[in-house]
Chains A and B, each alone.
Chain A
């Protein structure tokens, strides 16, 4: 087993051990607390919070992927080319508009809970997927596209069998980036009562408990790193596409 794999397994093991049995780690966090405050977050189940956050991020990612890939396909078709500047502007706004501000705008409209968080993450995750979809579709070699049409593929068949498969490595990379960014960003959802590890961090901030803040942050960070790494492994395994020359 290579060193990198060993490190992966160690990180995963550590994360699972901490989420399943956080009290085991209490002595580690005890020095960070003052006045006998609890060293481990005790107002909720850490495992449930982590899973809830992951679920929220994944739901948002599915929605962003569907939307951004469809939009990317649309603006690279001859009929949709004129929408490219507009789409790019919209997607860029999604990225530049701070998620906190999105939450503030969304709460009056859809109420507290998961919904405003989903909206914020959805908007925030569009840009990398959208741009990578366009880059991937544009990187298809012209000779290959010409051959596909020359063989008698309709525009739809060409997209389905040639363009999307060839663009897939870049699209998946965009999805991966978007997911990882949003695992971290999702913690702010706790400000509007979405379940997640943000709750732990906020509790730590309110009670000046550094141990809580560190727990929420570390678990989130570890999830992001493992997710990034795991998705890249999956990409490599499932994509046998040759390097484009």
Chain B
């Protein structure tokens, strides 16, 4: 659990972050969105004290982050950034081993941890462990960056636009992988982005910032249905908010009892995708299948449309 209390950063007369307070639940993903200059990166960097706050404090599992030297604090908090920041003179394995080495892990434990992470991130250790970062593709470099941030099994992972430099297809894959990692390790994640779609896809809760102030911090569906501020409504998008709302619910959650002779959809598919499928096929309802392929129920168009209203 991360508690952010009245966090403020001023540079001279300019207030970059203005008395922001919110809590991030353990094992959840919080996404901070805002336009450039909204103070979102500064807010993130105050959590691991890369930027020292002017006022306010951050509590990590109840303990003030200022109670230990900043560099020791940062070894317990994963940190991944846009453009990955990999050390160009170190191999992939050495990059990933950075924090465990700083913490003085035994060599054997470091080696097995690096091996494990490379496998999780689909980087064959035999091929890539001894490669230098510039020999990897952009997507691979980004995965190594996240693997390095997770190497010492931190309870918290901070990410600043980690997927900003990736093309859309690789980005979607990276987002999927990140959700998988979060489910697997239960890491509490705080992610900064300017991309509302990314925020909705990843965030359990989303914080919208403008000019240093936190406008709203809530679940994505609430941001869509009850925006606290016209700016939040503009950020979330006015024209396709119904579609965005549908995208937040899966077919499994919305399925009604009964069968259907319409197209089959996976229970993990979003209602947006199911609706698209129904429009395309002209059917009135879809059959929802569980992960094992057995029918879970049906989804008529009307039930989907009802979910797209606030």
Determine chain B's interface SS by DSSP, over half rule: mixed
**A162 contacts which of B71, B84, B87 (Cβ < 8 Å)?**
B87
| Contact in complex: A244, B73 (CB < 8 Å) | no
Does B102 sit within 8 A of A, measured CB to CB? yes
B residues less than 8 Å from A245 (CB atoms): 88, 134
| Interface range, B side | 20 to 34
| Contact in complex: A152, B102 (CB < 8 Å) | yes
**B102 contacts which of A143, A157, A165, A244 (Cβ < 8 Å)?**
A157
How many angstroms from the CA of A208 to the CA of B123 in the assembled complex?
72
Does A234 sit within 8 A of B, measured CB to CB? no
How many angstroms from the CA of A143 to the CA of B50 in the assembled complex?
13
Chain B residue nearest to A168 (CB atoms) is: B89
How many angstroms from the CA of A166 to the CA of B84 in the assembled complex?
17
Binding site for A on B (CB under 8 A): 48, 50, 71-77, 79, 81-89, 98-99, 102, 132-135, 145, 148, 158
**B132 contacts which of A146, A151, A154, A242 (Cβ < 8 Å)?**
A242
A residues less than 8 Å from B86 (CB atoms): 144, 147
B residues less than 8 Å from A21 (CB atoms): none
Does A240 sit within 8 A of B, measured CB to CB? yes
Does A243 sit within 8 A of B, measured CB to CB? yes
Does A159 sit within 8 A of B, measured CB to CB? no
A residues less than 8 Å from B99 (CB atoms): 151-152
| Contact in complex: B73, A152 (CB < 8 Å) | yes
With A143-B81, A242-B133 known as contacts, the answer to whether A149 contacts B74 (CB < 8 A) is yes
Given contacts A151-B79, A161-B87, 20 further A-B contacts (CB under 8 A): A141-B88, A144-B86, A144-B88, A147-B84, A150-B85, A151-B74, A151-B98, A151-B99, A152-B74, A152-B76, A152-B77, A153-B98, A154-B71, A157-B71, A166-B89, A240-B132, A242-B89, A242-B132, A242-B134, A243-B134
B residues less than 8 Å from A154 (CB atoms): 71
How many angstroms from the CA of A65 to the CA of B77 in the assembled complex?
38
> Which one of A152, A161, A165, A243 has the greatest number of beta carbons of chain B within 10 Å?
A152
> Which one of A144, A240, A244 has the greatest number of beta carbons of chain B within 10 Å?
A144
| Contact in complex: A150, B79 (CB < 8 Å) | yes
| Contact in complex: A146, B85 (CB < 8 Å) | yes
B residues less than 8 Å from A165 (CB atoms): 89
| Contact in complex: B88, A166 (CB < 8 Å) | yes
Minimum distance in angstroms from B291 CB to a CB of chain A:
37
B residues less than 8 Å from A147 (CB atoms): 79, 81, 84-87, 145
Minimum distance in angstroms from A169 CB to a CB of chain B:
10
A residues less than 8 Å from B79 (CB atoms): 147, 150-151
A residues less than 8 Å from B76 (CB atoms): 152
| Contact in complex: A151, B50 (CB < 8 Å) | no
A residues less than 8 Å from B134 (CB atoms): 242-243, 245
Does A107 sit within 8 A of B, measured CB to CB? no
Does A241 sit within 8 A of B, measured CB to CB? yes
How many angstroms from the CA of A166 to the CA of B148 in the assembled complex?
19
Does A219 sit within 8 A of B, measured CB to CB? no
Minimum distance in angstroms from A170 CB to a CB of chain B:
13
How many angstroms from the CA of A243 to the CA of B135 in the assembled complex?
11
Does A148 sit within 8 A of B, measured CB to CB? yes
B residues less than 8 Å from A144 (CB atoms): 85-88
Minimum distance in angstroms from A231 CB to a CB of chain B:
20
Q: What sequence of 0s and 1s flags, for each residue 109-120 of chain A, a beta carbon within 8 Å of any chain B beta carbon?
A: 000000000000
A residues less than 8 Å from B84 (CB atoms): 143, 147
B residues less than 8 Å from A151 (CB atoms): 74-75, 79, 98-99, 102, 148
Chain A residue nearest to B99 (CB atoms) is: A151
B residues less than 8 Å from A166 (CB atoms): 88-89
A residues less than 8 Å from B83 (CB atoms): 143
With A151-B98, A153-B71, A243-B134 known as contacts, the answer to whether A146 contacts B50 (CB < 8 A) is yes
How many angstroms from the CA of A141 to the CA of B134 in the assembled complex?
14
Chain B residue nearest to A143 (CB atoms) is: B85
B residues less than 8 Å from A244 (CB atoms): 88
How many angstroms from the CA of A161 to the CA of B90 in the assembled complex?
10
How many angstroms from the CA of A154 to the CA of B73 in the assembled complex?
11
With A143-B83, A166-B89 known as contacts, the answer to whether A150 contacts B132 (CB < 8 A) is no
| Contact in complex: A149, B50 (CB < 8 Å) | yes
| Contact in complex: A241, B89 (CB < 8 Å) | yes
A residues less than 8 Å from B88 (CB atoms): 141, 144, 166, 241-245
How many angstroms from the CA of A166 to the CA of B132 in the assembled complex?
14
| 10 cross-chain CB contacts under 8 A | A141-B85, A148-B85, A149-B50, A150-B79, A150-B85, A151-B79, A152-B75, A157-B71, A157-B102, A166-B88
